[in-house]
Amino acid sequence: MPHDIDLSRTTVWTRRYGDDAGAPQGPWNETIARLLGHRSVRAYARQAPPPGTLETLIAAAQSAATSSNLQTWSVIAVDDKDARAALAAIANDQAHVAQCPIFLVWLADLSRLQRLGTANGARLEGLDYLEMFLVAAIDAALAAQNAVVAAESLGLATVYIGALRNDVRRVAALLGLPPGAAPVFGLCIGYEAAGAAAEVKPRLPQDVVLHRGRYAAHDEAARIADYDRILAGFSLRNEMSNEGWTKRVLARVGSVAALRGRDALRAALAALGFPLR
């Protein structure tokens, strides 16, 4: 069920940036407060959203910008229990992939344009390039994020599942993807399980990611030290850990093994019909 959310601007802002971040001075409204209140949720109630919810979310997704209106993405709603279990296993056994009421697999999809070319006797040379895969992945991300915003506006919770990329060939086989279509991530949607609510996760100080005029990283080390302390506090209250950001980053990208098979993504995409020239 949707939680009551405190939408006051100082509360929302300090949850996101820490208690010392001060109050924001800019324009504000309820949509922005809800965007700032986003949390990824990994425990879902059984209750299904009302009929028509999926179609509403996909209409929001299709309304996002798409490069040159090429619409180089597709999405598959997966209900079948066995398929869900197989996808959960690919995603490091994340149980919510099997359990959430709506599970979507978002695709970078150049296959539709390829079919259009074939039907018109045209070889679409541009599709072989890294650029067009990137267009498709970005299109899919913009669309999915609109679906997330729409879902959260309806009191639903979500979490992206990047771990589908652990084995994109197996995902493609499970879902019957044609050449030129590849999964970029999954998305769980549903109501948050009672008692599961955690705090909003703090992010890096804004001046670490926002640059003015030119890229400038001069204060970064001190600012990240601040953030390490803020995130360690969050972890202690919510995750029975006391790890800051630095330690997590080093563990997550410090070795090829930590990529969990995604070091083979380039070869796997080639096998799915993306030469990435």
**Residues in 177-216 that interact with a copy of itself by CB under 8 A:** 177-178, 181, 184-185, 200-201, 203-204, 206, 208-216
Exactly one of 127, 157, 193, 230 binds a copy of itself (CB under 8 A); which one? 127
Touching a copy of itself, residues 4-23 (CB under 8 A): 13, 16-17
* Residue from 5, 7, 45, 67 binding a copy of itself (CB under 8 A): 67
Which one among 5, 85, 129, 198 touches a copy of itself, defined by CB under 8 A?
129
Q: Which is nearer to a copy of itself, 194 or 258 (CB)?
A: 258
Q: Exposed, middle or buried: residue 48 (CB in 10 Å: 0-12, 13-18, 19+)? A: exposed
Hey, what are 3's tokens? Answer: 């939680």
- 220-238 vs 245-253: helix axis angle to the nearest 10? 90
Select from 4, 68, 81, 240 the one that contacts a copy of itself (CB under 8 A): 68
What number of CA atoms fall less than 13 Å from residue 191's CA on the CB side? 15
Q: Tokens at residue 122, please? A: 């045209």
Scan for tokens 């959260």, then name that residue: 152
Q: Which residues contact 51 (CB under 8 A, 6 or more apart)?
A: none
Among 5, 7, 45, 58, the residue binding a copy of itself under the rule CB under 8 A is 58
Task: State residue 121 phi and psi, 5-degree precision.
Answer: 65, 25
Nearer to a copy of itself, 42 or 99 (CB): 42
CB of 122 to a copy of itself, least distance (A): 5
Name which of residues 30 to 49 contact a copy of itself (CB under 8 A).
31-32, 34-38, 40, 49
Amino acid identity at 31: T
Does position 258 interact with a copy of itself (CB under 8 A)? The reply is yes
List 19, 46, 65, 237, residue binding a copy of itself (CB under 8 A): 65
- Residue 158 pairs in a beta bridge with 40, 189
Residues 64, 66, 72, 76: what is their CA dihedral angle, to the nearest 10 degrees?
A: 0
Residue ranges in 228-257 that form contacts with a copy of itself under rule CB under 8 A = 245-246, 248-250, 252-256
Among 5, 56, 85, 198, binds a copy of itself (CB under 8 A): 56
DSSP bridge partners of 189? 102, 158
Structure token pair of residue 275: 């030469």
Q: Does 130 bind a copy of itself (CB under 8 A)?
A: yes
